[in-house]
Amino acid sequence: MAGRFMDERVTQPPAILSPYHRFTRSEWASLRADTPLTLTVEDLNRLRSLSEPLSLEEVIEIYLPLSRLLALYVAATQGLYKATQRFLGSDGGKVPYIIGVAGSVAAGKSTLARVMQALLSRWPNTPKVQLVTTDGFLYPNAVLAAEGLMDKKGFPESYDGMALLNFLSDVKAGTSNVHAPVYSHLTYDIMPDEFVTVDRPDILIVEGLNVLQPGRPPKDGRGTAFVSDYFDFSVYLDADEDVLEQWYVERFQRLRQTAFRDPRSYFRKYADQTNAEAEAMARDIWTRINLRNLHENILPTRARASLVLTKDASHSIQTVELRKL
């Protein structure tokens, strides 16, 4: 009899272990503790994007606990840095804490990044928080067209990877006044001679589709760095594929009534389409470009994130996964 029970124990499947702590929305919300709400309704209206709702409830239940966690992480990193400087007997100045934000087109990365910038800048130990997007490091349209990459815009090969690495290296080294190029979503191209200046912030948020991509090591055996090597923390914003497609289509339709009507808009030709024609065009772009990029390059990096936020169809974050230390 004892042997039979022992066999049953042996044949039970092993428990599935995860590198993440997983929280429901309510469990995560409870971790806010006494973190005060420092954003007003006017702030939310300014921070939300055209196509993505952002409620006060979402800020309180999701973003406030996240800002509290990041404030703790940054403070611990600052303490470690100061201890190292004391050990070395030197004063190397301030080194920014860098946060990467990744996820699909239409997932809501820009809104997330702006809200976190606003909240983190209100913590006493991180008053200076800056934000850059990797769109600015896309090759100009003329280069992409010459290389046959216009239909792969947003894929890893469409970025000037070396320029982005040099930028992050300079920022992480504590260099003053580092320039990042600027991208226009109106003209759908890099803006010549326009830059964002990053000047030794306490925190730098870097938002982009492929910021967690490890890339391919060089064939000559030389060492190389990847964008994510410069991150102290990273967030992946997730949602089901059919939901992401619907959000993309809805955003495309809204832009037809707003930005696309600007004569300078790259997409001006779509403004006067019928709703059916525009939806068909949006779904074609999604399938040919954005979905392919999601499958090949973006989604495979999900498991590399420090934190995964998963949304439902209403844009509400329902689960939070925090990597175990």
Q: Is residue 2 part of a domain?
A: no
* Cα 249 to Cα 230: distance, rounded to the nearest angstrom: 34
- Tell me the pLDDT tens digit for each residue of 64-96: 999 999 999 999 999 999 898 889 888 767 789
Q: Is residue 5 part of a domain?
A: no
- Give the domain CATH number at 73: 3.40.50.300
Q: Which domain holds residue 247?
A: 19-214+224-323
* Cα 274 to Cα 208: distance, rounded to the nearest angstrom: 31
Q: Is residue 119 part of a domain?
A: yes
Q: Collect all residues with Cβ–Cβ distance below 8 Å to 239 and sequence separation of at least 6.
A: 104, 107, 247, 310, 311, 312
Residue 165 φ then ψ, to 5°: -65, -40
Say which DSSP state 159 is in: B
Amino acid 218: pLDDT: 64
- Residue pair 296/218 in contact (Cβ under 8 Å)? The answer is no
Amino acid 5: pLDDT: 46
- Tell me the pLDDT tens digit for each residue of 231-288: 999 999 999 999 999 999 999 998 888 888 888 888 898 888 999 999 999 999 999 9
What confidence category does residue 6 fall into, taking pLDDT thresholds of 50, 70 and 90?
Answer: very low
* Cα 253 to Cα 275: distance, rounded to the nearest angstrom: 7
Neighbours of 290 (CB within 10 A): 21
Q: How many CA atoms lie within 13 A of 8 on its CB side?
A: 5
Q: Is residue 253 part of a domain?
A: yes
Q: For 15-42, what is the mean pLDDT?
A: 89
Amino acid 67: pLDDT: 96
Total structural domains within the chain: 1
C-alpha distances out from residue 188 to 41, 52, 193, 300, Å: 31, 20, 16, 26
Amino acid 19: pLDDT: 93
Say which DSSP state 286 is in: I
Q: Is residue 4 part of a domain?
A: no
Q: Is residue 14 part of a domain?
A: no
Secondary element (H or E) of residue 116: helix 109-120
Taken as a whole, the chain contains a residue count of: 325
- Tell me the pLDDT tens digit for each residue of 202-226: 999 999 999 999 866 666 666 678 8
What confidence category does residue 315 fall into, taking pLDDT thresholds of 50, 70 and 90?
Answer: very high
Q: Is residue 32 part of a domain?
A: yes
* Cα 254 to Cα 264: distance, rounded to the nearest angstrom: 17
Q: Is residue 6 part of a domain?
A: no
In the predicted structure, residue 3 carries a pLDDT above the cut 60: no
First to last CA, the chain: 43
